[in-house]
Amino acid sequence: MRAIVCQRYGPPEDLVLQELPDPTAGPGTMVVRVRAAAVNFPDVLLIDGKYQLKIPTPFTPGSELAGDVIAVGDGVPFTPGDRVVGTSFVGGFAEQALVPAAAVTAIPDGVDYAAAAGFGVTYRTAYHALRSVAQVAEGDWVVVLGAAGGVGLAAVDLAVAMGAKVLAAASSPEKLEVCRQRGAAATVDYDREDLKARIREITGDGAQAVLDPVGGPYAEPALRSLARGGRFVTLGYAAGSIPAIPLNLVMLKGITVQGMEIRTFATDYPEENDRDLAELQQLFADGRVSPYIGARFPLADTAAALRYVADRKAIGKVIIDV
């Protein structure tokens, strides 16, 4: 099979396309013929050796994939030919992937491979952050930073479905137009407008929640725009720097600041995880939410896809067609 290989830590341009042996299913695992794989910002960090966990090289990146089952091991509740979507920390950017059966679900009828691959990680991250961490209620103002990115646009989609009012903040008119098309009630171009002033102007007394997958210079003005008792959820640092938050603001306004990491959420909060996943799958199956796919690349151009994400050019999800 063909696969993208990270032979040494570095930029996307160092990745190579290689022939590798086909994987073999063992107990509790399955081999999937990959049809589509989604690119996520952590993939960029993993190949550069900058993620929280380091994967020894060489390895095939890609954590989110959809395709057809071609082989199963003992104890696996799927059969060859089933259409499935799954996650595996690495291995997705290849023609075949070995995936734990516990990390795989059936693709709903009527959903194509690209939409299935682009749904899982970003939508789970956004829904846990909105539902369980920020505890967003109908009518709340929710500020989404990096609103045109994978997690950001998922958060816009989900918050609208939950009945919240979304203020989408992003860095270009093109990105903000997509956010409006996805239901954002208001938008702010944080590279050209005063983020704090615009949020306060639009929301009146301030927002009830901020979701921040970006970090950098945008976090503090968004924090300052929260209403008393508001919730700030930090999800990542795509801007490249980790912000320092003045704790006196947290104290004076009674703000809650909490982090959420998708990798550990199920272990830390098993009951909330099960509830959220059931609700999220129902929203997806009902067609109430669906990922926006902004760009697609063939497997041979995976490096270009990762560079596209690394340079913050992506709008919604970036998909690798395998």
Question: Given a cut of 80, is residue 176 above it in pLDDT?
Answer: yes
Strand runs labelled E in the chain: 2-5, 16-19, 29-39, 64-72, 83-87, 96-100, 104-106, 141-145, 165-170, 186-189, 207-212, 226-234, 256-259, 293-298, 317-321
Q: Which domains does the chain have, with CATH numbers?
A: 2-120+275-321 (3.90.180.10), 134-259 (3.40.50.720)
pLDDT score at 120:
86
Angle at which helix 113-127 crosses helix 150-161, to 10 degrees, equals 70
Residue 18 pairs in a beta bridge with: 3
Q: Which amino acid is at 3?
A: A
Q: How confident is the model at residue 155 (pLDDT cuts 50, 70, 90)?
A: very high
**Across 263-267, 284-288, 316-320, which has the greatest mean pLDDT?**
316-320
| Helix, coil or strand: residue 188 | strand
pLDDT score at 204:
92
pLDDT score at 21:
97
> Of 231, 225, 187, which is closest to residue 211 (Cα–Cα)?
231
Question: Given a cut of 90, is residue 108 above it in pLDDT?
Answer: no
Question: Given a cut of 80, is residue 298 above it in pLDDT?
Answer: yes
pLDDT score at 303:
97
Q: How confident is the model at residue 194 (pLDDT cuts 50, 70, 90)?
A: very high
Over residues 303-314, the pLDDT tens digits come to 999 999 998 888
Q: How confident is the model at residue 141 (pLDDT cuts 50, 70, 90)?
A: very high
Mean predicted confidence (pLDDT) in 238-249: 86
Tokens representing residue 213 in the block: 């997958």
Instruction: Report the C-alpha gap between 319 and 305 in whole angstroms.
Output: 8
Question: Given a cut of 80, is residue 239 above it in pLDDT?
Answer: no
pLDDT score at 205:
86
> Of 241, 193, 197, 195, which is closest to residue 215 (Cα–Cα)?
241
Q: How confident is the model at residue 121 (pLDDT cuts 50, 70, 90)?
A: confident
Half-sphere exposure of 17 (CA within 13 A, CB side): 12
Instruction: Report the C-alpha gap between 214 and 288 in whole angstroms.
Output: 26
Mean predicted confidence (pLDDT) in 153-170: 97
DSSP secondary structure letter of residue 16: E
Question: Given a cut of 80, is residue 29 above it in pLDDT?
Answer: yes
Instruction: Report the C-alpha gap between 108 and 84 in whole angstroms.
Output: 9
CA–CA distances in Å: residue 182 to residues 51, 158, 169 = 30, 10, 13
Mean predicted confidence (pLDDT) in 197-208: 94
Helix %, strand %, coil % for the chain, to 5?
35, 30, 35
% of the chain at pLDDT higher than 70:
100
Q: How confident is the model at residue 52 (pLDDT cuts 50, 70, 90)?
A: confident
Cβ of 304: how many Cβ atoms within 10 Å? 15
Q: How confident is the model at residue 14 (pLDDT cuts 50, 70, 90)?
A: very high
% of the chain at pLDDT higher than 90:
83
Angle at CA 199, nearest 5°, toward 196 and 202?
145
Residue 169 CA, chain-centre distance (Å), reads 17
Q: How confident is the model at residue 197 (pLDDT cuts 50, 70, 90)?
A: very high
